[in-house]
Amino acid sequence: MMNSTTKHLLHCTLLFTVIIACEVFSGGIKIDENSFTLVDPWTEYGQLATVLLYLLRFLTLLTLPQVLFNFCGLVFYNAFPEKVVLKGSPLLAPFICIRVVTRGDFPELVKMNVLRNINTCLDTGLENFLIEVVTDKAVHLAQHRRIREIVVPKEYKTRTGALFKSRALQYCLEDTVNVLNDNDWIVHLDEETLLTENSVRGIINFVLDGKHPFGQGLITYANENVVNWLTTLADSFRVSDDMGKLRLQFKLFHKPLFSWKGSYVVTQVGAERSVSFDNGIDGSVAEDCFFAMRAFSQGYTFNFIEGEMYEKSPFTLLDLLQQRKRWLQGILLVVHSKLIPFRHKLLLGISVYSWVTMPLSTSNIIFAGLYPIPCPNLVDFVCAFIAAINIYMYVFGVIKSFSLYRFGLLKFLACVLGAVCTIPVNVVIENVAVIWGLVGKKHKFYVVQKDVRVLETV
C-alpha cells in the first residue's frame, strides 16, 4: 500500500501532465509555429467584433487568482495526509458544542445523524461535548444529557432583521438562550453532515492549539450510498477547492481571502458573539460568507482543520441549480455590502465576478475556434493553464473522494472519466444559475432535499 508521500508525488505528476497536455493542445506552448493560423482580426472581423473577442478572452483571466491558490494548495501541501493523530488528550479539550441548524423538515434525518455523530465523538474519546439542534419546527429529539433542542420562536426578530439560518444562529447567541462560555467552542454542521473520527481528532487538535478562533476542514460527497452520480461527480470540484484554495488561504495566510463554506465551521464562542450573525437581510442569504468577511475585517485569524466530514450532493439537477443560484446571489450581496471594507473582499469580488461573467468567458470555447485571434504567448499560456487546473480539479476530487479499494480499479477509473464528462453539464448548470441568479429574487433561501428516504417513499 502506498504511503501519503508517494500518493502526493503521483498526484503532482498527473497534475503537471494535464497542464502540459492542455498547453500543447491549445497552443499555450507552441511546438510547431506553422500549425497555428495567424489572422489579422481587425481586417478580418472588423473593429467592434475584434474588441469583443479580446474582451471575452481576457475575461478568462478573472479566475487566475483562485486558480493559482488551488494550484499551490494542491502542490505545496500533501494532498493525501496520513490519519490524524491526537496531539493531546480529548479529556483535556475545552467544551465543544456541535450545533446543527435545521428548518425541521427532515426530523428523522436529524435524529439519525445526531445519534451517529454522538457515537463518533464517543468512539474518538471526546467526553466534554454537547449536540445542539436549532430548529424552526420541533423535531422531538430523545431526552439525552448530550442533546439540546432549541426551537426558534416565530416571533423572534434580530436587531437588523436577519433571516433564515442567520436568524436561528443569532438566536442561539442571545443571553437568555446561550449556555456556553466565551472560551468554549462551537462546531457548526448542516443537518446532513456526518462527523468522522478523523475530523473529531482534527477539531480536538485545533481547539487544544487555540491559536486561531476560527477553522474549517474538508468535506467530501461520495461516501456511503451515492444518490445522484451526476451531481456527486460535479461536486468533486468542491473537494479539490477545499484541498487547494481553502487550505492554502488558511494554512499560509490564516485569512478567509475567498470566504469559506457554511458547514464544518469551528468557532470560539467569544469570537462568534463578537462578530455576530445579525447582519441584516443582505447577510442572510450567504450567512457563512458574510460572517467570514466580518471576522476577517475585525482582524480574527483562521486555520485549516485536518480530517474530513461527509455530506451528500444535491439529489437532483434542479436542486444543484437552485443551490448554486443561492450561493451566487448571496455572495454578490456580501461583495456589494458597505459593511465589508473593500480591501477585505477584493479577492472574493474578483472570484464572484469571474462566476458572474462565466456565460461570457465560456463562450470562448466556441468563438476561439470560429474566430481565432492572436494573443501574446503569455496570455495563451495562462488561459491554457486555467483550463488545465479546472479540468484537473474534477479528476482530483474523484481521486480524493472515491476509494479505489471500495470501488475497484475499473469503477474507480469510470468515476474519473465520468467526472471529466460531467464538466459540460456542470458548465451549463453554472451558466443557467448565473443568469437566473442575476434576474431572480435575491433574498430567498432555497433548501435542497436532504433525506434520501423521502425520495424512496414518494
Q: How confident is the model at residue 104 (pLDDT cuts 50, 70, 90)?
A: very high
Amino acid residing at 85? V
149: left (phi over 0), alpha (psi -120 to 50) or beta: beta
Residue 457 scores a pLDDT above 50: no
Cell numbers at 355, concatenated: 462566476
Residue 446 scores a pLDDT above 70: no
Cell numbers at 452, concatenated: 434520501
3-state secondary structure of 175: coil
DSSP character string of 177-195: T----TTSEEEEEETT-B-
**Residue 170 in contact with residue 158, Cβ under 8 Å?**
yes
* pLDDT, position 458: 32
Give domain limits for the chain. Answer: 4-78+351-406, 90-316
Using the structure block, give the residue that is written with the C-alpha cell 485569524: 301
H/E stretch holding 102? strand 96-102
H/E stretch holding 40? none
> Distance from CA of residue 257 to its chain's centroid?
13
| Mean pLDDT across 132-141 | 97
Closest of 296, 279, 307 to residue 83, by C-alpha: 307
What are the Cα distances from residue 23, in Å, to 19, 157, 380, 385, 386? 6, 55, 8, 7, 10
Q: How confident is the model at residue 443 (pLDDT cuts 50, 70, 90)?
A: low
Task: Give CA angle at 135 (129, 136), nearest 5°.
Answer: 165
CATH architecture of 90-316: Alpha-Beta Complex (3.90)
* pLDDT, position 26: 86
Task: Give CA angle at 69 (376, 394), nearest 5°.
Answer: 90
Contacts of 245 (CB under 8 A, 6+ apart): 66, 69, 70, 73, 258
- CB-facing half-sphere around the CA of 14: CA atoms within 13 A: 16
* pLDDT, position 8: 97
State what percent of residues in the chain have pLDDT above 90: 86
* pLDDT, position 31: 79
* pLDDT, position 33: 65
Task: Give the long-range contacts of residues 11-20, CB within 8 A, separation 24 or more.
Answer: 11/74, 11/79, 11/80, 11/396, 11/399, 12/75, 14/392, 14/395, 15/71, 15/74, 15/75, 15/392, 15/396, 18/388, 18/391, 18/392, 18/395, 19/385, 19/388, 19/389, 19/392
pTM of the model: 0.94
* pLDDT, position 452: 62
**Residue 134 in contact with residue 150, Cβ under 8 Å?**
yes
- Taking only the tens place, the pLDDT of each residue in 57-89 is 999 999 999 999 999 999 999 999 999 999 999
- Taking only the tens place, the pLDDT of each residue in 193-230 is 999 999 999 999 999 999 999 999 999 999 888 999 99
Sheet holding 265-268, edge to edge: 147-151, 129-135, 96-102, 185-190, 265-268, 214-220, 302-310
User: In whole numbers, what is the pLDDT of the chain averaged over residues?
Assistant: 93
Top pLDDT among 457 and 205 is at 205
| Mean pLDDT across 19-44 | 83
First to last CA, the chain: 44
Pairing mode of beta strands 129-135, 96-102? parallel
* pLDDT, position 453: 54
- Taking only the tens place, the pLDDT of each residue in 356-401 is 999 999 999 899 888 989 989 899 999 999 999 999 999 999 999 9
**Residue 383 in contact with residue 28, Cβ under 8 Å?**
yes
Say how far apart CA 79 and CA 278 lie, in whole Å. Answer: 36
Biggest CA–CA distance in the chain, Å, is: 78
